[in-house]
Structure 1
Amino acid sequence: MTATAFDFDKARFNMIEQQIRPWEVLDARVLALLGELRREDFVPEAYRALALSDLEIPLSHPAVEGESMLAPKVEARIVQDLQLRPTDNILHIGTGSGYLAALLARLGRQVLSIEINPRLADMARTNLARAGVDNVQVKTADAAAGRFAPCVSEAPYDAIVLGGSVAEIPTDLLELLRVGGRLFAVVGEEPIMRATLVTRGSETGFHSEQPWDIVIPRLRNFPQPSDFRF
């Protein structure tokens, strides 16, 4: 079956009912958004018929390790866990195709999304413009360079989202949260990684919870924990 003959509306319904809801995504705003925003429009043509499947979608053809869209249920759970508000200023690192940035933008005020790969950044800009999402700024940069200097321009943030996994959450990134802000990251080493939600309760106080497990590709160039031990 070709992508043009594929029934995306039926597949979208099945995605929501068979993938998203069983993953405890029950927020009516998130479910409605998943039904409205056409995920298939953010997927390379070679993989378009797989856009609503329960898997990571390569963003290159042939596939390149680490360059992929997260599975739909993972993106949905991230957005739900952040409990975004219409006034939120959001930082997103790892733009990829732009789909997760678009979800964030529909529920927040504005998104700064940073992508290290110029080709993917251009793809995301095209996809976002085609979808009519005009409150996402895609910046081509290494987000972690210079102690997260590319991220500082729009700080402080109400929400920060890491689109790939990291070994640990850098303190310099947490400092870009405003009080009351939330950061989502997948933290750890294969085969054990934990979805981690950090809330800044005060200027110096942070609360962390790890509600679910998932393994996703690494973000590039993030600081690694020191192996030095006393």
Structure 2
Amino acid sequence: MRGPRADFVERIRQGGVDLSPALAAAFAEVPREAFVPRGFQRHDGTWAGPADRDFLELVYADDVLVTKVDGRTPVSSSSQPSLMAMMIEALDVRPGHTVLEIGAGTGYNAALIARLGASVVSVDAQRDVADRARAALARAGIDGVRVEHGDGYLGCDRTTFDRVIVTVGIAGVSPRWFEQLAPDGLVVAPVEHAGNHPVLRITADLRARALIPAGFMTASGPLTAASPFPAPAPPRTLGKLTAYAEGRFDPPLELAYHDLWYAAGVWHRRATYAAVPRQRRNCLMLLDEERTGGAIILPDGSVLAGGAQRDRYAADAVVILDRWLAEQRPSLRSWHIRLAPGGDPDAPILLPHTWELTR
């Protein structure tokens, strides 16, 4: 590799991924630029195209590339490479495997999986996205991937799959995928929890483990049906927030902040992960029913609160902090999850239903 591609694999490793040699070779060999020929949206809202001087530098950054927007809403993208890598490693793909991918995106994720020796069927609900992914795979010379336009909920009943990977945020997984899954198969999917989409690794017996925190564009159709534990809708304009409890973490939590957030989502139905004024990052929040107040737990463990139910939600936040510490700061991976049917009775989905801490 030359130029911006030269350090691509190392950038992915710096994102916290223990790359296998086979997947490292796939990232080194598959040209990511072939999958974004029309460019993508920069973080400042401008569009980067192949003729721009920074195009390849941006393509080979460890960053998401938004390739389609509806107004201001991103609706298709090439995911952050380190996140792709974590999900593909969790999928445990072997040569000769058949893989069902829900959400084709640019086709780049399927290309990486195919490079590992698997046959891939990729299904996307947007016809233009499926067409572009198919063309990109051909342009990059990738064999072993079939892209179909269709409802990902239905899967593809033409074969039995060893693995299923989902590249869009969903409320729950489709039972159709398990009907098409080998007995020792795996599903890796970002499933909604407290306002975000942590990636779950789900076995054929409908047991799951959370792997990594993540945020994804949301799927359409039955896969986003309401769950019994819905996250609160995003905040409206928040009123004044004042200090309620002092910080207790020095230095402030970094990765462990996601562990605290995940536990809060299990223990409190109003927990969410939301943008908060004057904070540089999204924060764990217990959002009141009016969506204008509640309590925020900051990474240093301090609690801010506001609104008519300030004292109630702030007290709940302190209880969550105390409980998380009493449980010895369980990580996101410490939870065993069982799935159960829910959603639309005419198109049911399997939802996280019960959680149990393990050591």
Q: Same fold judged by TM-score > 0.5?
A: yes
The whole-number CA distance in structure 1 between the counterparts of 2:37 and 2:195 is 28
RMSD: 2.2
Structure 1 stretches lacking a partner, 5+ long = 1-7
Task: Note closer, same or farther for the CA distance 1:208–1:190 as it changes in structure 2 (3 Å cut).
Answer: closer
Contact 1:91 1:157 in 2 (8 A): yes
Q: Structure 1 residue 105: deviation in Å?
A: 1.3
Percentage of matched positions with identical amino acids: 27
Secondary structure, counterpart of 1:196 in structure 2: strand
After superposition, what is the alpha-carbon deviation per residue over 1:94-131, rounded to whole angstroms, capped at 9, x for unaligned?
10111001111111331111111111111111111111
One-letter identity of the residue aligned with 1:196: L
The whole-number CA distance in structure 2 between the counterparts of 1:141 and 1:91 is 13
Name 1:225's counterpart in structure 2.
226
Q: Structure 1 residue 172: deviation in Å?
A: 2.8
After superposition, what is the alpha-carbon deviation per residue over 1:140-194, rounded to whole angstroms, capped at 9, x for unaligned?
11222xxx1x51122x210001111111223332232111111110111463321
Which protein has the bigger helix share?
Answer: 1
Secondary structure, counterpart of 2:152 in structure 1: coil
The whole-number CA distance in structure 2 between the counterparts of 1:20 and 1:78 is 14
Contact 2:17 2:85 in 1 (8 A): no
Contact 1:25 1:31 in 2 (8 A): no
Q: Structure 1 residue 17: deviation in Å?
A: 1.2
Contact 1:190 1:215 in 2 (8 A): no
The whole-number CA distance in structure 2 between the counterparts of 1:11 and 1:25 is 21
Q: TM-score, normalised by structure 2?
A: 0.55
**1:177 and 2:170 aligned:** no
Name 2:111's counterpart in structure 1.
102
Residues 35-184 of structure 1 mapped to structure 2, 5 A cutoff: 35-46=28-39, 47=48, 48=50, 49=55, 50-60=58-68, 65-144=74-153, 148=154, 150-154=155-159, 156-184=160-188
Which protein has greater RCO, CA pairs closer than 8 Å, 6+ apart?
A: 1
One-letter identity of the residue aligned with 2:207: H
Q: Which deviates more from structure 2 when the two are superposed, residues 18-27 or residues 34-43?
A: 18-27
Structure 2 stretches lacking a partner, 5+ long = 40-47, 230-359
**1:212 and 2:209 aligned:** no
| Greater gyration radius | 2
Moved over 4 A (4+): 61-64
The whole-number CA distance in structure 2 between the counterparts of 1:67 and 1:18 is 23
Match of 2:7 among 1, 4, 14: 14
After superposition, what is the alpha-carbon deviation per residue over 1:187-228, rounded to whole angstroms, capped at 9, x for unaligned?
11463321101122xxxx243211211111112212413559
**1:32 and 2:37 aligned:** no
Contact 2:67 2:78 in 1 (8 A): yes
Contact 1:59 1:67 in 2 (8 A): yes
Secondary structure, counterpart of 1:152 in structure 2: coil
Aligned length: 212
Name 1:4's counterpart in structure 2.
none
The whole-number CA distance in structure 1 between the counterparts of 2:217 and 2:117 is 25
Contact 1:192 1:215 in 2 (8 A): yes
The whole-number CA distance in structure 1 between the counterparts of 2:142 and 2:216 is 26
